[in-house]
Amino acid sequence: MKLKQTAALSALLAAMAGAGHAQELRIGLQDDADALDPDQSRTFVGRIVYTALCDKLIDITPDLEFIPQLATDWSWNDDETELTMQLREDVVFHDGTPFDAEAVVYNIDRSLNLPESRRSSEIASVEGAEVVDEHAVVITVSQTDATLLAQLADRAGMMISPAAAEEQGTDFGSNPVCSGPFSFVERVQQDRIELERFDDYWNGDDIHLDTVVFLPIPDTSVRLANLRSGDLDMIERLAATDFQTASNDDALRVEDVVALGYQGITMNVGNGERAEGPFGQETALRQALHLAIDREALNQVAFDGAFAPGNQPFPPDSPFYDDRFPVPERDPERARELLEEAGHGDGVTLEVQMANNPVQTQVMEIIQAMAAEVGIDVSLRATEFATMLDQQAAGNFEGSQVGWSGRVDPDGNIHQFLHCEGGLNDGGWCHERTDELLDGARTTNDVDARKDMYDEAREIFDAEQPIIYLYHPSWIWAMDAAIEGFVPNPDGMIRLEGVRYAAE
């Protein structure tokens, strides 16, 4: 709960704010984070926690431009095979050890070679990193990599303490040590993650909060009720259906921005025994489900029309969107024909798992009803989100309604999900030609050439439907009206620089 101020204290707190003094901020998250290890984790809410906990080499602006964070400057050599980065000289990790070029080399090596790393496929072009001097490092790539800066602006660029990582090994996520504005205090699974202000933070003048507590509350209505009661100070992913009501509440402030990502149904086509079912083996059935869904109706019923219907990994306003494949009209007649052609004219069953929150439950119940009309009996399995991701990775699913928060570079929305060696390819999709195209799109900075490769891959994906894309959300935050300094960003993160409670 935010610190309750008396009128007599207000002036004092306002004066102290300039010295970086403030209160506790309690943030309601839609899910619980998985392991707080940037190399092992994959949840969206985990990235929100990292924004307060772990600085990156590079950050991005709301206009999606790269800006310095732990690296102050960077440049490529003439053939774009060496990236030289100049590093901040006034940075220490939360354990007091220095952040320097050797720490960057350690982190790059860990992301590439830790057996449990999910970052290795994201920076697969990297051959290694070498110290130039104490505050400069050169990263060598095997060939031009148009995606590398974007990866270093995300989890692959988050710097953890080498000393702590060596001491803790794969248990690092239970007591993470980074160099961000807040350090780790405590975690109670499914209850809270508590961080406290790091007094030696290099940009401490912009940090005005003493404590940040993240609380997972999957139910959107309960999150909003907790905000209104004062038990929370901010919530992420306000339900689109609550947008107008919260906007009309003078005690609250609502911010929103179009997201970079998507929501869809990942189909298990090659990950273990459960890929051997009808939908995993028969393209016609995946096509039938794809055509059974009315995406515009889904958007109107579940989100009051606030989101964008989608059928691609890129939103319609992306320069990489393929206009040849617009969002299809629902075609139940063709869907039934496809079932008949596949030998399932009497119907077929499919189990789909989804996160145990009201929004995803409603989405899948709508799709369940649409699918039933064409002869597809969809059973639903509601699962805690982090557990659901574990089930995906293990191949224990037929279909999984899951999304991706999106990345600045289009590669981040597609390569790791639909490449044979992709670190997040839970559906087990593997296709030689699409691998060639996705890899090729990484090796040029020519936007038109990259789009041509993504377009060709899109033709294959559209025919095979390994992921049935559904919609592109907007990020919506609600907060106490007294909070100032929050800037919405298309990546959905909650950056706490400049955030504080205004004097009452």
Q: Give the model confidence (pLDDT) of 441-496 as tens digits.
A: 999 989 999 999 999 999 999 999 999 999 999 999 999 999 999 999 999 999 99
> Does domain 7-37+180-259+475-501 bear CATH number 3.40.190.10?
yes
Q: Is residue 17 over pLDDT 80?
A: no
- Express each pLDDT in 318-355 by its tens digit: 889 999 999 999 999 999 999 999 999 999 999 999 99
d(CA 177, CA 503): 33
Token pair, residue 226, equals 């907790």
Q: What is the CATH number of domain 262-472?
A: 3.10.105.10
Beta strand 182-188 with 192-197: parallel, antiparallel or unpaired? antiparallel
Say how far apart CA 471 and CA 341 lie, in whole Å.
28
Calpha distance 464→457 (Å, rounded): 11
Q: Which of 55, 431, 361 is nearest to 218 (CA)?
A: 361
Residues 6+ apart with CB under 8 A from 78: none
**Total count of residues recorded for the chain:** 504
Angle between helices 295-303 and 358-372 (to 10 degrees): 140
Q: How far apart are CA 355 and CA 236, in angstroms?
A: 16
* Residue 23: predicted pLDDT: 87
Amino acid at 249: D
Distance CA 261, CA 471 (A): 9
Which residues make beta-bridge pairs with 201?
none
Decide if pLDDT at 20 tops 60. Answer: no
Alpha-carbon distance of 235 to 45, in angstroms, equals: 12
State whether the Cα torsion 64-70-71-72 is positive or negative. Answer: positive
Confidence band for 10, pLDDT divided at 50, 70 and 90: very low
Q: Which CATH superfamily is domain 55-167 in?
A: Dipeptide-binding Protein; Domain 1 (3.90.76.10)
Q: pLDDT tens for residues 347-394?
A: 999 999 999 999 999 999 999 999 999 999 999 999 999 999 999 999
Three-state DSSP state, 205: helix
Tally DSSP H helices, then E strands, for the chain: 16, 21
Tokens at residue 14, please? 């306002």
* Residue 418: both structure tokens together: 């639909």
Residue 234: strand pairing partners: 27, 479
Rounded Cα gap, residues 481 and 251, in angstroms = 5
- For every residue of 101-148, DSSP letters joined together read HHHHHHHHHHHHH-TT-SSTTTTTTEEEEEEEETTEEEEEESS--TTH
Mean pLDDT along residues 274-280 = 98
Q: Which residue is associated with the tokens 């985990």? A: 46
CA-to-CA distance for 91 and 234, rounded, in angstroms? 29
* Residue 16, pLDDT score: 43
Find tokens 């891959």 and name the residue: 457
pLDDT beyond 60 at 225: yes
**pLDDT above 80 (res 120):** yes
SS3 (DSSP) at 454: helix
| Angle between helix 447-464 and 283-292 (nearest 10) | 100
The rounded distance, in Å, linking the Cα atoms of 131 and 85 is: 10
- Give pLDDT, residue 60: 95
Q: What percent of the chain has pLDDT over 90?
A: 92
> Of the candidates 449, 414, 418, which has an alpha carbon nearest to the alpha carbon of residue 433?
418
Contact of 39 with 111, CB cutoff 8 Å: yes
Comparing C-alpha atoms, which of 226, 184, 240, 180 is closest to residue 204? 180
Distance, in Å, from the CA atom of 500 to the CA atom of 504, rounded to the nearest integer, reads 12
3-state SS class at 185: strand
CA pair distance 372, 380, nearest whole angstrom: 13
Burial of 156 (0-12, 13-18, 19+ CB in 10 A): buried
Q: Taking all residues of the chain, what is their mean pLDDT, rounded to a whole number?
A: 94
Residue 15 has pLDDT above 50, yes or no: no
Domain boundaries in the chain? 7-37+180-259+475-501, 55-167, 262-472
Q: Are 439 and 139 in contact (CB under 8 A)?
A: no
